[in-house]
Amino acid sequence: MTIIPPFDDPRVVAGAGTSALELLQDVGTLDVMMVPIGGGGLISGTSIAAHGFDARIKVIGVEPEGAHDTLLSLKEGKRVAIPPSNTIADGLRATIPGRFTFPIIEKHVENIVTVNDDEIIEAMRFAMTRLKMVVEPSGAVTLAALLSKRLPFKNKRVGIIIRACLVND
């Protein structure tokens, strides 16, 4: 048997990049693409695909407050481990960026912002009531960052990666 890590593997990164590629093929180029960050697989694949499509796209990562190991690592210029956090976004609770993913993030990610649990819950509520989507907390961090206006996006084409559960009537 071969064990494939959940984020720190080239095959996972390549597969994760398909979500960005599909989005860009559907809507065309964007100014900004926002992506959740756990261990770094999704944002690594997304950033490679986005920059392969258009090198001018700014890739922004979003982490929960307290689970901001990648933000701290970028500031330090090396992988930094943090204690496990207690965030509602449990799928993003990695304690250190991946060995394979961190260099990709350093090269391709423009910025990282954080959101708190209250903002994540509000984003989940917004998604359910306005978009009719059930979004798990880890998938709602990008929407939380957008709704809480973490970055100025006036007159920008912004794409966000949201992980959602489909609900059939």
Confidence of residue 162 (pLDDT cuts 50, 70, 90): very high
Question: Residue 142 domain-assigned?
Answer: yes
Taking 70 as the threshold, does the pLDDT of residue 110 lie above it? yes
pLDDT per position as a tens digit, 27-71: 999 999 999 999 999 999 999 999 999 999 999 999 999 999 999
The predicted pLDDT at position 153 comes to 85
Q: How many helices (H) and strands (E) would you count in the chain? A: 6, 6
Burial environment of residue 101 by CB neighbours within 10 A (0 to 12, 13 to 18, 19 or more): buried
Question: Residue 156 domain-assigned?
Answer: yes
Question: Which CATH number goes with the domain that contains 130?
Answer: 3.40.50.1100
| Domain region containing 55 | 10-165
The CA distance from 94 to 47, in Å, is 19
Structure tokens of 64? 């929960």
Number of domains in the chain: 1
pTM of the model: 0.92
Q: 102: Cβ–Cβ under 8 A, 6 or more apart, which residues?
A: 40, 70, 73, 79
Percent of the chain with pLDDT over 90: 88
Question: Residue 101 domain-assigned?
Answer: yes
